[in-house]
Amino acid sequence: MEAQYHPRSIEPRIQREWDEARAFAAPDHSPKPKYYCVSMLPYPSGKLHMGHVRNYTINDALARFLRKKGMNVLMPMGWDAFGLPAENAAMANKVAPAKWTRENIDYMRQQCKSLGWSIDWTREIATCDPSYYRWNQWFFLRLWEKGVIYKKTGVVNWDPVDMTVLANEQVIDGRGWRTNAPVEKREIPMWYMRITQYADELLDSLDGLGWPEKVKQMQRNWIGRSAGVEFTLPYAPETARRMADGKKGLRVFTTRADTIMGVTFAAVAAEHPLAAVAAKSNPRLAAFIEECKKGGVQEAELATMEKKGMPTGLYVLNPISNEPVEVWVANYVLWGYGEGALMAVPGHDERDFAFAKKYNLAIKQVIEVAGKAYSTEEHQPWYDEHGRNINSGKYDGLEYEAAADAVARDLEALGLGSKRIQYRLRDWGISRQRYWGTPIPIVECPKCGDVAVPDGQLPVVLPEDLVPDGSGSPLAKMPSFYETTCPKCGGAAKRDTDTMDTFVDSSWYYMRYCCPDAKTMVDERAQYWMPMDQYIGGIEHAILHLLYARFWTKAMRDLGLITIDEPFTNLLTQGMVLNHIFSRRGEKGGIEYFAPDEVETTIDGEGRVTAAKLKSDASAVDYEGIGTMSKSKKNGVDPQDMIERYGADTARFYVMQASAPTDTVLWNDESIEGSFKFLRRLWVIVHEHVSSGVVATYSSGELTTELKALRLKLHRTIEKVGDDYGRRMQFNTAIAAIRELLNLYTDGKDKSPVAREVAQEVLEGAILLLTPIVPHICTALWRELRPGTELIAQPWPQVDPAALVQDSIELVVQVNGKLRAHIRVPANASRDQVEQAALSDEAVRKFVGDAKPRKIIVVPGKLVNIVA
């Protein structure tokens, strides 16, 4: 055995052995219980970053642990290969997205292998392969047939210079990232998936999932089920004449029907038809509506905007009181949310209040909250709470529920409205005016309208030799792609030149892993592996991806493709790996990012960055704070240097020991050396033991106190580490426990034959416990400890109950909750004996005095608290 640890010589060799033996290929049938664990598939941005290393090492450690526990574990891998960054890279480097993406995948696959993850590579998929995305298209058509997919208009960010639709990420401070032109809202036709049809089920079935409560809460809030009343505010006579739209009035929804007597105005979105009618005779209003079209569509931007509005001169009637109220156009009313119109109750809604204050509109209190004062001067949080009606005519004195019910009944009797459940959730728009995605399998025929591409003609293949230039929609400029004939009438027709949202790809890939070569979308192998036992991924996916995947699963079920209701039984949300972000605005308004290691910073006394400049030319750059590692912000850290310098095991060990998987971490590699030293020490310890010859592990015989304590520590550690890996999924504390075990082991000086047997037991145990984290070094050391056997075939170690038996235990004694003494009592001591031992301790007596204690609290096996 080598006396020193040389990861570079052992790691590639062991990885080759695993590869050649297909050591981690999981069979689709097995007498063992199946365990399907997946980490969210990476976007092939070019190189792995530390967030990936963390994500897949967590998955790998769990997979390796559970294989040792006797399960048939599948850990697959794939590539979320469609998306915007490939088009950006294409523009920057004049290389086709397909070539760029496939080269990235090849490089990153090698990186994955060099990290020793126990992936079943026979199941690898890339979402940009026609063999994958043809099923996106096939499924799209099935959903269209069922009416789950439909077409309507949606609002997008429009760059008027590049004549192109921008992603939210490409809008910076309301301007196009490349052109610096002010962005406008524009309505275009798009395909939508009716996720709202599943809103109730998506909400209800959250309860049974083994997910973090916070994620379930976020999804509940996102779906936002609320009970309310949808009704019509009738047009005033003059308004009815001007509107002439055949409608009785303005349709609105409210969750606060009880406040209807407090309505002092109504408000509509700038895109609302009523606004257009009013603007016809009002140039100032028309200008305001134009003004509202400026800017992008991001909710964060819209919600923080200054509230602005203009009166329309049109009136609707309060349906209960018949009082007329004016309709305003307001920028805080969102088109596409409910009816795009609302009844405004400034007395009991914070946003309406702010708007009313700004434009001097009436504020009327109609709800009283017991014990809380009301003034129209400044909005207070309780104004929006439920309470008792006042100033509300016949509803006076009613509490929230009774008042809301009464109003709903009255509106129903008037034929104006009724109770309704509303969701915050909106249907999922999946059309993208981009190139690098799944083509939408629809032909637009001038005679027949939208026609499905027949199944036999799928997939509609995306041409792969195109280099986008950032203007327009790439496929719409490519006649060889879009020119076709109508499948129905045979006449000349045009393909839909939009592609699908990449969330479509990631909504079901984990089912395709189960049967990557299936001749159908999925086959019975998906039934074997699904639902997934453990899903692992970043907390940033808590809502969108996880909700779409849940919806997709239910849609597949309803088409009879699978029988499960939910895809992910358990979820581990990994915390983000953050790093500093440095940027600079270009002269044309574009934004350029710089890697943290290109930048030198000045730091104030609190550790905050106050200034930053480039190392290369000392020019100043802006510090944007810290944020998620991403290719676009150039703040990702490539693990390659670390692997080359210290080896994969050190990199794996380092990220796993640093923090709990769910914690957000700010990247820092200062203590990487410590992880390498630990592995080097482990190697030396085993070498020292083995150089005097291997022995049988301890099985019986008299032990010294020291050796008994060592065995106690070993078996407690086995217990703890198993719990940390399997139940808690907290690998950092497992590693700390193993370090404690080895520290105690190296403290021992005993070299007797029985001590060497215990040493053999401890070292074998430690290696088995460390295998999930650092499999390469453990494989090598095992061959030295137990020549002729292989670590991969060894089961998880058993806890020896005899080793856990103790004669006496230590208890903590508190006086009035403050720690005052430690006492040692027999393990089987009675409560009385424990109290007596505590009270007779000298330090305790000092604090208790002679008086009889008022109360003594005994927590068995832990502490005694004397209340004096």
Question: Using CB under 7 A, which residues numbered 287 to 306 contact RNA?
Answer: 297-300, 303-304
Binding positions for RNA, 710-739, rule CB under 7 A: 720, 723-724, 728, 730, 732-733, 735-736, 739
Q: Which is nearer to RNA, 130 or 575 (CB)?
A: 575
Q: Tell me which of 822, 826, 840, 849 binds RNA, using CB under 7 A.
A: 822
Q: Are strands 175-176 and 125-126 parallel, antiparallel or unpaired?
A: unpaired
Show the tokens assigned to 428. 């999922």
- Distance between CA 553 and CA 777 in Å, rounded? 41
Q: What are phi and psi of 465, to 5 degrees?
A: -105, 15
Q: Is 628 in the site for RNA (CB under 7 A)?
A: yes
What are the helix (H) ranges across 659-704? 672-690
Which residue, chain included where needed, has tokens 């692997």?
A: 643
Q: Is residue 84 helix, strand or coil? A: helix
| Min dist. Cβ of residue 217 to RNA (A) | 4
Q: Which of 23, 843, 845, 853 binds RNA (CB under 7 A)?
A: 843
Q: In the stretch 255-284, what mask flags binding to RNA with x, by CB under 7 A? A: ------------------------------
Residue (326 or 723) nearer to RNA, CB: 723
Residues 187-206 that bind RNA (CB under 7 A): 188, 190
Residue 126 contacts RNA per CB under 7 A: no
Which CB sits closer to RNA, 249 or 338?
338
622 binds RNA (CB under 7 A): no
Q: How far is the CB of 490 from RNA (least distance, A)?
A: 31
Q: Does 852 bind RNA (CB under 7 A)?
A: no
164 binds RNA (CB under 7 A): no
Shortest distance in whole angstroms from residue 809 CB to RNA: 9
**What minimum distance in Å lies between the beta carbon of 486 and RNA?**
25
How many helices, marked H, and strands, marked E, lie in the chain?
Answer: 27, 37
Phi first, then psi, for residue 157 (nearest 5°) are -80, 125
The footprint of RNA on residues 676-695 (CB under 7 A) is: 677-678, 680-681
Q: Which is nearer to RNA, 457 or 743 (CB)?
A: 743
Omega prior to 531 cis, within 30 of 0: yes
Is 827 a binder of RNA (CB under 7 A)? no
Rule CB under 7 A: choose which of 46, 429, 748, 853 binds RNA: 429
Angle 274-280-281 from CA coordinates, rounded to 5°: 115
Out of 259, 433, 497, 499, the residue judged to bind RNA by CB under 7 A: 433
**CB of residue 194 to RNA, shortest distance in Å:** 12
- Nearer to RNA by C-beta: 22 or 294? 294
How far apart are the two ends of the chain, measured CA to CA in Å?
A: 63
Cα 229 from Cα 408, distance rounded (Å):
6
Q: Is 341 in the site for RNA (CB under 7 A)?
A: no
Quick one: 510 or 678, whose CB is closer to RNA? 678
Contact residue for RNA among 379, 432, 689, 756 (CB under 7 A): 432
257-265, 674-682, 778-786, 834-842 -> range binding RNA (CB under 7 A) = 674-682
Please report, as residue ranges, which positions from 24 to 63 form the binding site for RNA (by CB under 7 A).
43
Beta-bridge partners for 149? 193
Subset of residues 732 to 771 that bind RNA, contact rule: CB under 7 A = 732-733, 735-736, 739-740, 743, 746-747
Residue 544 contacts RNA per CB under 7 A: yes
Number of residues forming the site for RNA (CB under 7 A): 107
Q: Which is nearer to RNA, 234 or 647 (CB)?
A: 647
Looking only at residues 490 through 529 of this chain, which bind RNA when binding is defined by CB under 7 A?
A: 501-503, 506
Per CB under 7 A, the list member of 93, 281, 671, 806 interacting with RNA is: 671
**Region of 49-57, 418-426, 521-529, 549-557 interacting with RNA (CB under 7 A):** 418-426
Q: What is the DSSP secondary-structure string of 704-765?
A: -HHHHHHHHHHHHHHHHHHHIIIII--HHHHHHHHHHHHHHHHH----SHHHHHHHHHHHHH
Alpha-carbon span 342 to 672, nearest angstrom: 57
Stretch that binds RNA, among 98-106, 386-394, 405-413, 858-866 (CB under 7 A): 858-866
Q: What single string gives the DSSP state of each residue in 672-683?
A: HHHHHHHHHHHH
**Residue 234, amino acid:** P
DSSP state, residue 399: B
Identified binder of RNA from the candidate list 19, 524, 641, 673, rule CB under 7 A? 673
Question: Which of 390, 398, 660, 839 is close enough to bind RNA by CB under 7 A?
Answer: 660
How far from the centroid of its chain's Cα atoms is residue 176's Cα? 27
Contact 655, 57 (CB under 8 A): yes
Minimum CB distance to RNA smaller for 218 or for 695:
218
Q: Which is nearer to RNA, 44 or 262 (CB)?
A: 44
Question: For residues 742 and 770, is the Cβ–Cβ distance under 8 A?
Answer: no
Binding residue (CB under 7 A) for RNA from 33, 189, 625, 701: 625
172 is an interface residue for RNA by CB under 7 A: no
According to CB under 7 A, which residues from 212 to 231 bind RNA?
213-215, 217-218, 221-222
CA distance 183 to 294: 6
Q: Does 152 contact RNA by CB under 7 A? A: no
Distance of alpha carbon 862 from alpha carbon 735, whole angstroms = 24
The smaller minimum CB distance to RNA, of residues 771 and 814, is found at: 814
Region binding RNA by CB under 7 A among candidate stretches 440-448, 651-659, 699-707, 779-787: 651-659
Least Cβ distance, residue 271 to RNA (angstroms): 16
Residue 326 CB, nearest distance to RNA (Å)?
25
Q: What mask of x and - would describe binding to RNA in positions 359 to 398, judged by CB under 7 A? A: ----------------------------------------
Q: Of the listed pieces 8-16, 409-417, 612-620, 628-636, which binds RNA according to CB under 7 A?
A: 628-636
Reduce the DSSP state of residue 766 to 3 states and report it. Answer: helix
Whether the Cβ atoms of residue 521 and residue 138 lie closer than 8 Å to each other:
yes
Among 122, 168, 485, 833, binds RNA (CB under 7 A): 168
Nearer to RNA, 153 or 704 (CB): 153
CB atoms within 10 A of CB 855: 8
Residue 114 or 579 with smaller CB distance to RNA: 579
Task: State the DSSP string of 270-333.
Answer: TTSHHHHHHHHT-HHHHHHHHHHHBS---HHHHHHSPP-EEEEEEEEE-TTT--EEEEEEETTS
Sequential DSSP letters for 568-632: BSBEEEEPPEEEEEEEEE-TTS-EEEE-GGGEEEEE-TTS-EEEEEETTT--EEEEEEEEE--TT
Q: Is position 100 an interface residue for RNA (rule: CB under 7 A)?
A: no
Instruction: Tell how far CA 397 is from the center of its chain.
Output: 46
CA dihedral of residues 187, 193, 194, 195 (deg, nearest 10): -110
Q: How many CB atoms lie within 10 A of CB 800?
A: 16
Pick the stretch among 75-83, 106-114, 520-528, 828-836 that binds RNA (CB under 7 A): 75-83
Could you tell me which of 796, 649, 801, 656 has the C-alpha nearest to residue 726? 796
DSSP for 436-476 reads SSPBP-EEEETTTEEEEPPGGG---PPPS-----SSS-GGG
Distances (CA, A) of 707 to 154, 232, 704, 760: 73, 83, 5, 12
Interacting span for RNA (CB under 7 A) from 5-13, 365-373, 794-802, 815-823: 815-823
| Using rule CB under 7 A, residue 578 touches RNA | yes
Is 43 or 796 the residue whose CB approaches RNA more closely?
43
